[in-house]
Amino acid sequence: MNLLPKSHKEFSEKDYWNKFFKKRGNKAFEWYGEYLELCTHLHKYIKRTDAILIPGCGNSSLSADLYDIGYPNITNIDVSEVVIKQMKAINSHRTCMKFHYMDALNMTFENDEFNVVLDKGTLDALMPDDSRETIERIDKYFNEIKRVLKIGGRYVCITLLQSHILSKLVEFFCDKSWMFRVVRCHEAEEKNAENGDGMTLPVFVVVATKFKELPKLIVEVCIAGDKMQRLDIAEQLMSCVKSAQDAAFITNGLAKTSLDGDDEVSLDLMLPGEEIPRYTLYIVDQKKSQAINKYAVFIVPQGRESEWLFGTAAGRRQLQDSARFGRLVVAVLRRGHLFQSLDAVKEELAHSAKMLVPNGFSGQIPFLSLGSDVGRRVKVHEGSSKVSGDYVVEDVDVEGTTYRRLVFLDNQFLVQSEAKLKTVKRKNKSKSVVDFGHISTYHSFMCVGVQLSSSKHVAVLGLGGGSLCMFLKKCCHDLKVTAVELDPAMLEVARNHFECEVDERLEVQIKDGVDFLRDEANAGHQYGAVLFDMDSKDRTLGLSCPPRQFLNDDVLQQVNTILTNDGHFILNLVCRDTNLQETIMSTLKKHFKHLVTVKLYEEVNEIVFATNTHRQYSMESLEEAAIAINTIARDRNLVKIKCVDLKDFLQSVTIVA
């Protein structure tokens, strides 16, 4: 039988409470946990010798539980005559405990009479909204609490801390005459979850300690674990509470239902007082008929978060499908934090993992990962530019190999540039240097397009760390590369951290790519290949590469103008919007006679070759170009075996009719 009120407005109405308690009879109704769930916090803030006042006691057994373990000086008041009569009868053998029919807004106690005012849900009942009438009522209540508390006394309030309630608490108690603390009571939440009470808000214990005057404002919060966090301003506390409530709303919902289709939910886990998430959790569900196991948490080591399997929704879905868990939580370790060990991460995630268990799961939660450690991520350089925003250069270890990566922090799970590092000995000293023979799979496919042209001058729009340009320069000694980069900071990053060498064979122009194409077309300059390898700063379009304006008709016409007769336009296309991708391909068909797409397996990138040469693309010509790149790279000692995986490349090719 559901005895919760339909409207929060009813919480504050006297008639409602009389009807409620008559209906319940002598059975206690514990809104926010019972003594066992609350005792850890209560014992911390209430002494056995304290004079305790419980306003709005209801028929809760809390005062009786406290009395029975040695808190003899307890006074209970309530606005319901019915419940006071019930409680006097139930507790007749507890001779020192007092019960009074009294309004908490107009108490008859003396000033400074109590050490503790213990409020369990009474504030929530009195404050269903923030109307003028309600605020006047709460002002009376708080002023009465302040009046009856001794100096050093504590107002201990167990509450759901809805936003209007927290705002009022902050307004009244956050000054130099009070020390204000908010602690999350996980034990009460877990008890509610076990009972199936369906609580969608966390339970908090607010402790306001009365002083004559403090030297400064003291505001503290403990949202996760046992560590208390001191905050500078009350607004930080309100932000912490809201984050916990938002997450709890989602986790409670996920405990009762499964996600539909390919949907997934993500949660950021923050440490109180910090703005950078420590973890991001992705929750993926599977149809019960396909699942062997109910639930697991997969911890992604540092440096692996950008891989397709962990960094994309489709990849996480495949990870879950292969593991065959009904629910899989994929935990990503965010940069900017220190992670001591895999065991330490498991311990940190234990509570969140427990809050996300699907309905019907019991037992120990399995934690999975790729190995026995959390990986390594070392910051090499960080900076900020007007064009790219905040960015970081970092070294990460992946399966025994170190990679240097450039990451723009507004899109943290996308690696902008990557270089493999190798160790060389110089003058009997070991040193890490860039391995120019290592390029990403999609860059290797773009190089196949370059090989299709006989011209020895190519333009690359988008420098990044310079990995693609340096490979072309090292691989093809008779090739001149003109790189175009909008952001001057990226040229410095490429030079200082990726060993990019600018000279007569690798020219870098700091310029808007659209302006470059227009100026080159007007000047009559020709290129055997024009490569687009630029990221888009506008994330709203579903198009990550290139920026949308580079696929407009006038820009594509200028590309055509500067290409030689056997020239090729090579596009790194990253588009998650199927309709937009089809529109882009239709636009390309208007400007180029022949098109090839190379869709990378387990990647979001799609490489497009486009040309107006009389010679159509064929599997034979594409295979010859790929073999030629591999041969040249081996001859130049850039790679030992191959640059392009020929089988992978040919299986990924689609010649567009």
User: Mind listing the pLDDT tens digit for each residue in 327-348?
Assistant: 999 999 999 899 999 999 999 8
Average pLDDT, the chain: 87
Question: Using one digit for the tens of pLDDT, what is the confidence trace for 580-632?
Answer: 999 999 999 999 999 999 988 767 789 999 999 988 999 999 999 999 999 99
Question: Using one digit for the tens of pLDDT, what is the confidence trace for 407-430?
Answer: 998 888 888 899 999 998 877 788
Alpha helices in 76-121 (DSSP H): 81-90
Cβ atoms 376, 396 nearer than 8 A: yes
What are the structural domains, with CATH classification, of the chain? Answer: 17-249 (3.40.50.150), 257-270+277-368 (no CATH), 377-435 (no CATH), 441-656 (3.40.50.150)
What is the rounded CA–CA span in Å between residue 359 and residue 252? 10
b/e per residue 297-331 (b: at least 16 CB within 10 A)? bbbbbbbbbbbbbbbbeebbbebbeebebbbbbbb
Question: Using one digit for the tens of pLDDT, what is the confidence trace for 159-206?
Answer: 988 889 999 999 999 999 999 999 988 777 766 656 554 445 688 999
User: 5: pLDDT confidence band, cut at 50, 70 and 90?
Assistant: very low
Question: Using one digit for the tens of pLDDT, what is the confidence trace for 39-70?
Answer: 888 999 999 999 999 999 988 889 999 999 99
Question: 164 vs 33, 130, 135, 188, CA distance in Å?
Answer: 22, 6, 10, 22
What is the rounded CA–CA span in Å between residue 279 and residue 353? 12
Q: How many CB atoms lie within 10 A of CB 143?
A: 12
**Is 207 in a helix, a strand, or coil?**
strand
Q: Are strands 389-398 and 506-510 parallel, antiparallel or unpaired?
A: unpaired
What is the rounded CA–CA span in Å between residue 89 and residue 179? 38
Given this model, what pLDDT does residue 361 score?
84
The answer on pLDDT for 209 being more than 60 is yes
Among all chains, which residue has been given the structure tokens 């860059």?
443
The answer on pLDDT for 493 being more than 70 is yes
Measure the CA angle with vertex 302, ends 296 and 304; round to 5°. Answer: 80
Question: Using one digit for the tens of pLDDT, what is the confidence trace for 354-413?
Answer: 888 887 888 899 999 988 889 999 999 999 999 999 999 999 998 889 999 999 988 888
End-to-end CA distance of the chain: 66
Given this model, what pLDDT does residue 6 score?
35
Supply the Cα-derived Rg of the chain in whole angstroms: 33
Please give the helix or strand (H or E) that residue 407 lies within, else none.
Answer: strand 401-408
